[in-house]
């Protein structure tokens, strides 16, 4: 079997979580890499939607931004940004949203705005929200891909850019958010899912070679671990070959 890194494991695990044939609103970066890997392997009929207005994109190289021309020239259709949000996203026509995060907390709220408690003078000002708040609120369900460490996995995020489960049960309903919210958070250590009663993220799966203590040490709260903790199968040679080809194509195009 070929050698792989924790990032490879995370990307492959995230790709596996995507079903063939779904409409998927994709964020740039890790989500886009995993989504395009899924499309090249087990989900060729998945419809990738980017917030620049590209529907059914089939990029031959990984896009550098939502404005990358590769997304437009390989898409089935290009519409305006207002149409993507007002006609496709807001009425619930997009099944899955796929997001990254700079910070995520125990209730799956996402921060991509600022690091630090002072919004006007933060330690770090991040790229910002883009379409993520609407994706998190309005897609049928949300999947998050993010590296797991204490800096990223916080008891409470410094700023709530995109609502997961707010303060816990009932928060999404009070805010009038129609989407189900995050159903999986996939990391370089394993997979977390919201507890059906408390909405708190719980470790339900560890990647092969990772133990529960590692996951707890990489989390900024008292991480709960499922009693029936599963183990992720390692990436196959075929999955790794497809991922390497995808990444090599990106390097060649840069």
Going through the chain in order, the beta strands assigned E by DSSP cover: 23-26, 47-50, 54-55, 77-78, 96-99, 103-105, 110-111, 114-115, 124-125, 141-145, 153-154, 182-186, 190-194, 201-207, 224-232
Rounded Cα distance, 201 and 215, in Å: 12
Active site residue ranges: 51
* C-alpha span between 241 and 3 (Å, rounded): 11
Point out which residues pair with 47 in neighbouring strands. Answer: 23
Q: Are strands 141-145 and 47-50 parallel, antiparallel or unpaired?
A: unpaired
- Strand order in 23-26's β-sheet? 77-78, 54-55, 47-50, 23-26, 96-99, 141-145, 182-186, 190-194, 201-207, 224-232
CA angle 46/40/96 to nearest 5° reads: 30
For residue 221, the tally of other CB atoms under 10 A from its CB is 15
């Amino acid at each position: 079997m070929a050698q792989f890194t924790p990032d490879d494991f995370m990307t492959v695990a995230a790709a596996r979580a995507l079903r063939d044939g779904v409409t998927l609103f994709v964020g740039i970066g890790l989500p886009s890499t995993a989504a395009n890997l899924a499309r090249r392997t087990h989900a060729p009929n998945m419809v990738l939607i980017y917030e620049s207005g590209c529907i059914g994109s089939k990029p031959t190289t990984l896009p550098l931004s939502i404005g990358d021309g590769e997304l437009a020239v390989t898409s089935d259709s290009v519409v305006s940004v207002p149409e993507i949000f007002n006609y496709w996203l807001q009425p619930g026509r997009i099944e899955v949203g796929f997001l990254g995060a700079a910070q995520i907390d125990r209730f799956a709220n996402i921060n991509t705005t600022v690091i630090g408690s002072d919004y006007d003078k933060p330690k770090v000002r991040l790229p910002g929200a883009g379409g993520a708040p609407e994706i998190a609120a309005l897609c049928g369900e949300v999947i998050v891909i993010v590296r797991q460490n204490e800096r990223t996995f916080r008891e409470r995020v410094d700023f709530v850019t995109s609502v997961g489960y707010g303060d816990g049960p009932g928060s999404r309903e009070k805010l009038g958010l129609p989407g189900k919210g995050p159903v999986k958070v996939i990391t370089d250590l394993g997979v977390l899912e919201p507890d059906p009663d408390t909405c708190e993220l719980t470790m339900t799966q560890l990647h092969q070679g990772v133990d529960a203590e590692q996951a707890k040490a990489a989390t900024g709260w008292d991480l709960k671990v499922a009693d029936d903790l599963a183990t992720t199968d390692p990436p196959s040679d075929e999955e790794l070959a497809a991922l390497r080809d995808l990444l090599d194509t990106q390097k060649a195009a840069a």
